[in-house]
Amino acid sequence: MSLKEAAERDRERSIIARTNATRRFFNINALYTALLFITWISLNSAVKIPEQFQKSNHTNNWAVLVDTSRFWFNYRHVANVLSIYRSVKRLGIPDSQIILMISDDMACNPRNPRPATIFNNAHEQINVYGDDVEVDYRGYELMENFVRLLTGRVPPDTPRSKRLLTDEGSNILIYLTGHGGDGFLKFQDSEEITSQELADALEQMWQKKRYNEIFFIIDTCQASSMYEKFYSPNILATASSLVGEDSLSHHVDSAIGVYIIDRYTYYVLEFLENVHPNSDKTMSEFLAVCPKSACLSTVGVRRDLFNRDPNKVPITDFFGSIRPVIITTDPINILEIPKRKRKTEKKTKIDEKRAYLPQFPMHLVQATV
């Protein structure tokens, strides 16, 4: 072998060695980085980062649940809205902060073979009508009162339980169900509310500082057309179908004889039954609750007006109820016992004697006899 060849061989060997070394080096590096990566991932998922949820700044929760259709064959819409009512009550929102509007009576309807009950499942396990339901608006009262309720322009003699007494820290859940079309929602077969009117009503609420955030759910045909015109901030909206699609019902209960629940609400309910007041499920899980295979219509979401990431918003922000509680650490130590001056009642008037009156005008009978 010549020197050149030996040098060549050496060079080759060194090159191979070097490449081997670099290869090993890279291998080790890769292994090292892979190890680091795995540790980082496992750390992230194992440790629940306290800032997983974006901080919300609401102080109370309200819910407005509306069923807009009338007549026995629309039983499923009443079952829809009562199912949501039940879930929302179970998760903590008190009745005084839920406005429930039902257009027609299904539970005590003469056509209902199971009186005083409304079921949302053919197995008839849960009576969503329940024993302590409080319906705020029923029957004909729904006609124009939905927009009045949202904007606060109710007649002056409306009782407090029928008013939406929200303030700037309220998170409101709005759920609408019934029959709808492209750009409108039908109220009781005789009136309509257009998407523009709804958008204007929500804007007026924003102007008057009547909400902090709104979660808007609508389960009708062509539902997403109702939220397209929204322009107020802090609204997250979802609909059971897009424009041009129909929302379908789920199944028939042959004992009752009508469709008893809609697809979208059925899957929403399945999801909500697994949510408890301390749940850490997020809003984005809720928004993905009904894929096209289950719902047969595409669920629409509008998130551009909502400034938080739905991935980081807990579901209890809208479905649960928060009530800030401040512990009292400084009660007043009352040393002087107060005594209020009583208004002396004038006892100068003699109390008049009272008596019971006869319950039948026999004096008229005696007079003529």
- Report, in Å, the least distance between residue 135 CB and another protein: 5
By annotation, the residues acting in catalysis are 179, 221
Q: Which of 190, 254, 274, 348 binds another protein (CB under 8 A)?
A: 190
- Report, in Å, the least distance between residue 242 CB and another protein: 24
CB 117 within 8 A of CB 107: yes
151 binds another protein (CB under 8 A): yes
Burial 271-288 (b: 16+ CB within 10 A, else e): bbeebeeebebbbeebbe
Binding part of the chain for another protein, among 36-44, 189-197, 252-260, 309-317 by CB under 8 A, reads 189-197
Of 294, 252, 248, nearest to 271 (Cα)? 294
Site residues for another protein, 260-299, by CB under 8 A, read: none
In terms of CB distance, is 80 or 321 closer to another protein? 321
In terms of CB distance, is 4 or 354 closer to another protein? 354
116 binds another protein (CB under 8 A): yes
Binding part of the chain for another protein, among 11-19, 255-263, 311-319, 350-358 by CB under 8 A, reads 350-358
Q: What does the block give as tokens for 353?
A: 């004697």
Site residues for another protein, 232-261, by CB under 8 A, read: none
DSSP single-letter state for residue 233: S
Q: Which of 121, 127, 279, 298 binds another protein (CB under 8 A)?
A: 127
Q: What does the block give as tokens for 209?
A: 């500082």
- Report, in Å, the least distance between residue 317 CB and another protein: 15
181 binds another protein (CB under 8 A): no
CB 121 within 8 A of CB 260: yes
In terms of CB distance, is 118 or 287 closer to another protein? 118
Site residues for another protein, 87-106, by CB under 8 A, read: 92, 94-96, 105
Phi and psi dihedrals of 145, rounded to 5? -75, -15
Phi and psi dihedrals of 99, rounded to 5? -110, 115
Q: What does the block give as tokens for 29?
A: 């590096």
Q: Which of 54, 121, 138, 141 binds another protein (CB under 8 A)?
A: 138
| 3 state SS for 128-189 | CCCCCCCCCEEHHHHHHHHHHHHHCCCCCCCCHHHCCCCCCCEEEEEEEECCEECCEEEECC
- For another protein, how many residues bind (rule: CB under 8 A)? 90
Sheet (strand 60-67) strand order: 137-138, 98-102, 60-67, 170-177, 213-219, 235-239, 300-302
- Report, in Å, the least distance between residue 98 CB and another protein: 11
125 binds another protein (CB under 8 A): no
Site residues for another protein, 301-340, by CB under 8 A, read: 321-340
In terms of CB distance, is 99 or 299 closer to another protein? 99
208 binds another protein (CB under 8 A): yes
